[in-house]
Structure 1
Amino acid sequence: MSAPAVDGWQHVSSGKVRELYVPADTASVATATELLLVASDRVSAYDFALEPPIPGKGELLTRLSRFWFTQLGDVPNHLLTPTATSIPVPDSVASRSMHVMPLRMFPVECVVRGYLVGSGWVEYQESGSVCGVPLPAGLSNGDRLPEPIYTPAYKAPQGEHDENISFDRTVELVGAEVATQLRDRSLHVYSEAAAIALERGVIIADTKFEFGHDADGQIRIGDEVLTSDSSRYWDATTYAEGNRTNSFDKQIVRDWLSANWDKQGTPPVLPDEIVERTAARYRELIERLGA
């Protein structure tokens, strides 16, 4: 599916779920002073973009990012406040776009885990640790960790799989000072957001952040933040009752794929029922958080 034409903006690249634009009179991202990041309704899992899209997903996830950027005002991010000289954002994409500053992104996905679940649970059963971080014995699937842990990943080029890496490897990639800042900011943002969500009856089990530095060298959060695509959300009430699978994210999609696909070749088309259930959970999370 081709990217939509946006008046005043020139399309420059497509990700699994987002489109990137520069002002129409700008030659490239390298020379741009402002960017437009437009979220599509596409959904991805296991590093594949899936079919069909989830209706309304782009708008809902953009609302979530904007909500969290506002809530986390003490952490610099890439949002731009429109000025008289800013390129206008057309109404056709306004609800699912973010007007942002260019960042030079670090090749690291900053993953924070507050609960033992997913690939972390699989690894823990084998080694008693997650991404090299040792954990206490006797934990069960879905248990809250004694404290959140930072488990970075190398952000592979599009079409390749991301790779879990150690903190030492992060130091090799970006230097000790930046690696430390990425870790500390990630843990700070997760802890702040987890407390806010819990007040609204929602658990953030884990999440991932992406950071870059601006033209002045300041490190900022880029891309999306704490969306249903980048985070695992649970209902706190049902979690307390012992149900650790009641997610507000795309876990419905992951679970269906795990049961119906061997992860070889092209993923199967998602059934209508899975698409509808996922869209409903995205909407419910927005309501619960008040985003």
Structure 2
Amino acid sequence: MHEPIPVSRPVAGGTAKLMPDVDRERAWLLTVDGAPQSYVDLDDPGHLEFEYTRRLAHTLDLARPAGPLDVLHLGGGGLTLPRYLAAARPGSRQRVVDNDRALLDLVTEYLPLPPGSGITLRAEDALAELERAAPASADAVVADVFGGSRIPAHLTTLSCVRAAARLLRPHGVYAANVADGAPFDFLRSQVATFTAVFREVCLIAEPAVLRGRRFGNAVLLGSAEELPVTALGRRVAADAFPARVEYGAALRRFTAGAGPVLNGEAVPSPEPPGGAFSIG
């Protein structure tokens, strides 16, 4: 058993640090170059410290069918969400893809997965995995890929979203964690890209973020079938940091004038302003 002391190690994305939470006996914060990546409580996988992670968990809670799910996670971090789903829906089959082998090794060494979790790990580029995976093989695809604090450009395109849609079963959902701030050029382009692929799209974010008062995370959902927007709205409104669900006419107004991102036009998500997410 490792002592609960901070751990620092070079990884592909910079310098990764695991810092124990003094208030929770076996809980850890993972950062890369000072940007928070994950919070993991080894004794309580249902404890989700980051609000955007809670919103992704709500999405999986409400995903169909009932019982175990087949999920592809793009981006590993501390494997917080896969651990949550393994506990919430035992028997789920989860594949986690992250191109940073050193980060995966650090996490599995110090924050080992429970036996029989059904979680498999692969060091691979997220888009390459989308392109090689079998069609209609997933109930959900979750994209939470950041190079440091920015989403890589090649994971923001129309072709990438189409590749994710190809993997989904008819009821399946593609959920992406996106970060942006006013005037939301990046976020609006991502909503437009999802809308070009999926019949149903919704956006989950805190009101302060949507009003442009601060930079922050938003969760973008796309599906071929109706999304559970009412149930999602109730859940995110009851969180410690309440959010709201934008869809339909309101989302169309938000996205007005934006178009889908083509390969030659793709750029990474914007750099967060100083201090937006960093840990001192």
Q: TM-score, normalised by structure 1?
A: 0.26
Q: TM-score, normalised by structure 2?
A: 0.27
